[in-house]
Chain A
Amino acid sequence: MAATMAEKVWNAHVISEPGEGQPDLLYIDLHLIHEVTSPQAFEAMRLSGRRVRRPDLTLATEDHNVPTTDIDKPIADETSRLQLDALRTNCAEFGVPIYSLGNDEQGIVHVVGPQLGLTQPGMTVVCGDSHTSTHGAFGALAFGIGTSEVEHVLATQTLHLKPFRTMSITVEGERPAGVTAKDVILAIIARIGTGGGQGHVIEYRGSVIESLSMEERMTVCNMSIEAGARAGMIAPDNVTFDYLKGRDHAPVGEEWNEAVAYWSSLRTDDGAQFDTEVTIDASELTPFVTWGTNPGQGAPLGNSVPSPEDFETEAEQQAARNALEYMGLTAGQPIRDIEVDTVFVGSCTNGRIEDLREVAQVLEERSVADSVRMLIVPGSVRVKRQAEEEGLDRVFVKAGAQWREAGCSMCLAMNPDKLAPKERAASTSNRNFEGRQGPGGRTHLVSPAVAAATAVAGRLAAPADLEVRN
């Protein structure tokens, strides 16, 4: 029977089907862990005398909490230090490989897995982090789990799960100039809403998706969770294979050929049925930003801030009223008039080398506005080194931006990088929730290109706006 890619990957990992209405038992090929959602799992393992079943399919990295300055000094925040110490102790005790702060391979878990070639098509990948959906860009079935599930995977390398429903989102047509992967996914979330993908795994398809680079695909899949979906996937193709070839953990020789043959078989069959189908016309796409306090509250940069009355349901209207109040915005105000205090470039959504190149291209020969502080935080040490080899760091610093060490940083403000109350940021991260980037802080989600242009203009702007105004 014709099957979708998600169904093929699922079926290839079912160990046992306990029967009608009961969840399948699924094998997990790769388990990534970090300091925030793992300590309680290891503690429970210790108390029940269990061992990690497959440390060789497990990898830890330090990212959520790590400082992005002075990383050679002891971590000032004691609770952060204790959490990192706990991860190191747990990994040593249970034999799990770890890339700690200071290691050449340290970085955000969803940047590290792909760049090492550990994330491959057709795999099941989990992590105690909802942005695990990122890895679906390779055609892997990758999703975030809670700490109880982290413990379950550590102990058994499996999970009990009910099959997800399937959703196709087809973006067809010509991508207009100036429209980035981030704009595509923000537009999708605004269209289907934060609950639109609930219970589903999304397969992104169509000519626009196929034309994306591997890193752009990761940006799209990364934010699947913001549409409520557990996972997002893109069919593996030559772009995927070219990215993987030669990476540290990619197969070599005859195994490479065998793998490519298998990966090529994963595409959704003609005639396969999705439970839900959404189509987006690429010509409608434009630089997109959020104005509210959830990722579904977004609009084209050229629009005005919407009015609560523009929404259909009472719940949406109330949510919009709350959001406008929290964000300090007035309905009808042009979005381009919104001034920002801070610009943050980084995160598992947009902290990769192509993102930094895009920012550098805009900042070259320009300066960050005096009223703006700009933080640029690479997603991993490798990304940092690469950027420095290409001289991007010099462009950033010359323009007046701060060039930092790798980590999650201001995306969730667990380290010292945070917004002050009412401070307004344009951020390339993934969540504009109340207080996400610091208590009382106000977040507009944007692409790297819009972030860079905004830093220069001091207000929300696209690179094209700078050309006009110069």
Chain B
Amino acid sequence: MDKFGIHSGKAAPLRRSNVDTDQIIPAEFLKRITRTGFADGLFHAWRTDPLFFINHEDHSDATVLIAGPDFGTGSSREHAVWALQDHGIRVVVSSRFADIFRSNAGKNGLLPALVDQDVVEHLWKLVEEVPGIEVEVDLHNQEIRAGDYAADFHVDDHVRFRMLHGLDDIDITMEHNAAIEEYEASRPDFLPTTM
């Protein structure tokens, strides 16, 4: 995973609540067996709308998505994160993320920045009124800045630490291998195996 420090880019408003992962990438696009190549399926049902951010001249190359509450609900598909990243999105800002989406995003280096809904409303207005305004997302200080505006965001400490340092989860876990082995030896015999 690449390190994430401060990201600057354009932002796009997504004025919808409950954007579920079926909306982010429909199941028909989930048949690939690689982690790339999902950009074409991103927001598939909405991308024919000329007003949708992907088609909007001010927002088509946005890297920060400002979304309504309950973003990423539904299916656990990590393809939703890969599709957003394939399109170039590096940060999703929302006042509420579904748990699995938030976890998937952090593990892939897509920053799920949690803010109050009034921050979302403010950013929506700002990016719509000032076309092409640069938004800066600072993971060190957990702050979003745009023009004169600045707001704090929340991200899980562990996710922040791993993103700042670009660490691989499995390597971290394998440092506990002795403890895992000890735990395994203590598991009750009545537990099932699949073989």
Contact = CB atoms under 8 A, between A and B. Distances in A.
A228 B103 CA distance: 14
B33 A230 contact: no
Contacts of A170: none
B33 A83 contact: yes
Given A56-B193, A152-B173, A79 B22 contact: no
Nearest to A151: B170
Interface in A112-138: 117-118, 120, 123, 128-130
A396 interface: no
A271 interface: no
Given A82-B33, A152-B169, A162 B156 contact: yes
Given A160-B169, A195-B73, A414-B27, A15 B183 contact: yes
Nearest to A18: B176
B34 A40 contact: yes
Nearest to B157: A21
Interface stretch (B3-11, B13-21, B53-61, B84-92): B13-21
A15 B179 contact: yes
A316 B176 CA distance: 46
A79 B31 contact: yes
A50 B170 contact: yes
Contact of A27 (B45, B156, B184, B189): B184
A120 B192 contact: yes
B115 to A, nearest CB: 15
B35 to A, nearest CB: 5
Contacts of A117: 192
B30 A36 contact: yes
Contacts, number: 203
B76 interface: yes
A115 B195 CA distance: 15
A31 to B, nearest CB: 9
Contacts of A228: 70, 73, 98-99
Contacts of B34: 39-40, 43
B186 to A, nearest CB: 10
Given A27-B184, A144-B76, A434 B22 contact: yes
A117 B68 CA distance: 42
A109 B116 CA distance: 38
A54 to B, nearest CB: 8
A259 B170 CA distance: 32
A157 B184 CA distance: 10
Interface residues of A, number: 82
A50 B33 CA distance: 18
Residue from B45, B81, B180, B191 whose CB has the most chain A CB atoms within 10 Å: B191
B127 to A, nearest CB: 18
A361 interface: no
A59 interface: yes
Interface string B154-195: 001110000000000110111010011001100111111111
Contacts of B170: 48, 50, 151-152, 155-156
A315 B69 contact: yes
Contacts of A259: 188, 190
B76 A128 contact: yes
Interface string A10-42: 000001100001110101011000001101100
A364 interface: no
A145 B100 contact: yes
Interface in A400-453: 412-414, 431, 433-436, 439-440
B45 to A, nearest CB: 5
A58 B73 contact: no
Nearest to B183: A15
B132 interface: no
A22 B33 contact: no
30 contacts: A27-B180, A27-B184, A64-B27, A123-B191, A129-B76, A130-B74, A130-B100, A144-B76, A146-B76, A146-B100, A146-B104, A155-B170, A156-B170, A157-B184, A160-B169, A195-B73, A226-B74, A255-B190, A258-B190, A259-B190, A262-B188, A294-B20, A412-B22, A413-B28, A414-B28, A414-B31, A435-B22, A435-B23, A439-B26, A440-B45
Given A156-B180, A228-B70, A230-B99, 13 more contacts: A22-B157, A29-B187, A40-B33, A56-B193, A118-B194, A120-B192, A128-B76, A145-B76, A162-B158, A249-B193, A251-B190, A431-B74, A439-B44
Interface of A: 15-16, 21-23, 25, 27, 29-30, 36-37, 39-40, 43, 48, 50, 55-59, 64-65, 79-80, 82-83, 86, 97, 117-118, 120, 123, 128-130, 144-149, 151-152, 155-158, 160, 162, 194-195, 198-199, 225-226, 228, 230, 249-251, 255-256, 258-259, 262, 294, 315-316, 318-319, 322, 412-414, 431, 433-436, 439-440
Closest 7 CB pairs of A and B: A146-B104, A39-B33, A79-B31, A148-B107, A146-B78, A249-B192, A144-B76
